[in-house]
């Protein structure tokens, strides 16, 4: 059986993490597409060679898709969790750019607040991996 299709039962806390991330991501994606587009455009680094609005819309669609997949496809939690972790890693340079460039958005209006935010991205990556069932739990050794 392959790494992505290995059947390892999820714990309650992994399922709760998967569901919480699913709701969070779907909600964040909807705000990308609607009420917070200006805030998200402000976070797109100037060095990204794509129109800011296109980046915001594309990432919003990706977030809605990832969120819905986490919620609706528990059988594929390993794949969706890994995809979400990769997404968090992919957007991290934008968070760094927001700090380096001193861009204010979403109440991150000081360098200290922007710096503190950087430390939460690894937490999100870890939560996505945990929801995916990683690291795998070791089975207790059977006693003879």
Whether 134 shows a pLDDT value over 80: the answer reads: yes
Q: Is the dihedral of CA 55, 56, 57, 59 positive or negative?
A: positive
Question: pTM for the whole thing?
Answer: 0.88
**Cis peptide bond prior to 103, omega within 30° of 0:** no
What does the pLDDT read at residue 5?
Answer: 58
| Range 39-53 average pLDDT | 92
How does pLDDT run across 50-99, given as a tens digit for each residue?
999 999 999 999 999 999 999 999 999 999 999 999 999 999 999 999 99
CA–CA gap between residue 17 and residue 85 (Å, rounded): 13
Contact 27/61 with Cβ under 8 angstroms?
no
* Residue 140 banded pLDDT, cuts 50, 70, 90: very low
What does the pLDDT read at residue 72?
Answer: 97
| Range 35-46 average pLDDT | 91
């Amino acid at each position: 059986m392959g790494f992505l299709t290995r059947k390892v039962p999820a714990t309650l806390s992994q399922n709760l993490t998967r569901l919480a991330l699913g709701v969070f991501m779907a909600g964040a994606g909807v705000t990308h597409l609607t009420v917070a587009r200006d805030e998200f455009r402000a976070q797109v680094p100037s060095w990204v060679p794509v129109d800011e609005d296109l980046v915001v819309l594309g990432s919003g669609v990706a977030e809605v898709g990832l969120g819905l997949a986490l919620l609706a496809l528990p059988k594929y939690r390993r794949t969706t969790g890994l995809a979400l972790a990769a997404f968090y890693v992919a957007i991290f340079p934008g968070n760094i750019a927001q700090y380096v460039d001193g861009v204010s958005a979403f109440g991150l209006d000081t360098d200290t607040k922007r710096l503190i935010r950087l430390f939460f991205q690894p937490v999100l990556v870890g939560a996505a991996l945990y929801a995916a069932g990683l690291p795998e739990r070791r089975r207790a050794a059977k006693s003879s």
